[in-house]
A and B are shown apart, each in its own frame.
Chain A
Amino acid sequence: MLRSATTPVLSRQRLGLAVLWLVLILVPFWVPFVGGYTQLAGRALVLGLAAMALNFLLGFTGVMSFGHAAWFGLGAYGTGLMLRYVTSSTLLATVAGVLLGGVLGTLLGRLLVRRRGVYFAMITIAFGQIFFYIAYRWNSLTGGDDGLRGFQRQPIGFGRFLLDIQGNDIALYYYLLFVFAICVGLMGLLLGSPFGRTLIAIRENERRARFLGIDVERQIWLSFSLSCFFCSAAGALYALLNNFADPMTLHYTLSGEIVIMAVMGGMRSFWGPLLGAAVFVVLQDYVSSMTVNWMSFIGLLFVLVVLFAPRGLLGVLQRETPR
Chain B
Amino acid sequence: MTQLVLFNVTNGLIVGAFYVLMALGLSLILNLSNVINFAHANFLTLGGYFAYVLIPVIGFWAALFVAPLLTAIVGIIVERLMIRRVYGRDPVYSLLLTFGLAFILQDMCRYVWGTQGLPLAVPASIAQPLSADLFFITGYRVFMVVIVLVAVAGLFAFLRYSRAGIRIRAGILDLETVAALGVNVQLLRSLNFAVGIFLAGLAGVLAAGQIGLNPNMGDSLLMPSFIAIIVGGVGSLAGTLFGGLLIGVAAAVTTVFYPTAADAVIYVIMALVLLARPRGLFGEEGMMS
Contact = CB atoms under 8 A, between A and B. Distances in A.
- A and B interact: yes
Interface stretch (A221-229, A237-245, A297-305): A297-305
Contacts of B103: 295-296, 298-299, 302
B36 A256 contact: no
B277 to A, nearest CB: 12
A117 B223 contact: no
Q: For chain B, what secondary structure do more than half of its interface residues adopt (helix, strand, loop), or is it mixed?
A: helix
A306 B275 contact: no
A310 interface: yes
Contacts of A126: 223, 226-227, 230, 267, 270
B30 A307 contact: no
A129 B289 contact: no
Contact of A122 (B97, B107, B230, B289): B230
Nearest to B36: A118
A69 interface: no
Contacts of B226: 122, 125-126
Contact of A111 (B91, B227, B275): B275
Contacts of A300: 100, 104
Contact of B95 (A133, A259, A298): A259
A126 B230 CA distance: 10
A190 B138 CA distance: 61
Interface string A280-305: 00000000000001011011111101
Nearest to B263: A133
A74 interface: no
Contacts of B100: 260, 298-303, 306
A117 B88 CA distance: 12
Contact of B107 (A125, A296, A306, A310): A296
Given A114-B278, A307-B85, A302 B36 contact: no
Contact of A263 (B96, B108, B275, B289): B96
B107 A302 contact: no
Interface in B30-59: 30, 34-36, 38
A137 B93 contact: no
Nearest to A137: B260
B265 to A, nearest CB: 10
State the majority secondary structure of interface residues on A.
Answer: helix
Contacts of B99: 256, 260, 299, 302
B223 A114 contact: no
B271 A122 contact: no
Contact of B106 (A111, A123, A295): A295
Interface string A106-132: 000001001111110111011101100
Sort chain A's interface into a size bin.
35 or more
B157 interface: no
Interface residues of B, number: 46
A287 to B, nearest CB: 12
Contacts of B263: 133, 136-137
Interface string A136-172: 1110000000000000000000000000000000000
A122 B96 contact: no
A118 B110 CA distance: 30
B274 A111 contact: yes
A259 B38 CA distance: 14
A303 B104 contact: yes
A296 B274 contact: no
Interface in A243-266: 252, 256, 259-260, 263
Nearest to B271: A111
Contact of A259 (B82, B85, B92): B92
B102 A299 contact: yes
A303 B275 contact: no
B86 interface: yes
A69 B154 CA distance: 39
Could you say which of B93, B102, B288 has the most chain A C-beta atoms within 10 Å of its C-beta?
B288
A300 B30 CA distance: 23
B89 interface: yes
A125 B30 CA distance: 15
B289 A115 contact: yes
B35 A306 contact: no
Nearest to B289: A116
B197 interface: no
A123 B30 CA distance: 14
Across the A-B interface, the 5 shortest Cβ-Cβ residue pairs: A302-B100, A299-B103, A299-B104, A295-B107, A296-B107
Given A126-B270, A299-B101, A310-B89, 14 more contacts: A66-B95, A115-B288, A118-B36, A118-B95, A123-B230, A129-B223, A133-B263, A133-B264, A138-B260, A260-B96, A263-B92, A295-B106, A299-B102, A303-B101
13 contacts: A64-B90, A114-B278, A118-B91, A119-B288, A123-B230, A129-B267, A130-B264, A259-B95, A260-B96, A295-B107, A298-B103, A302-B100, A307-B82
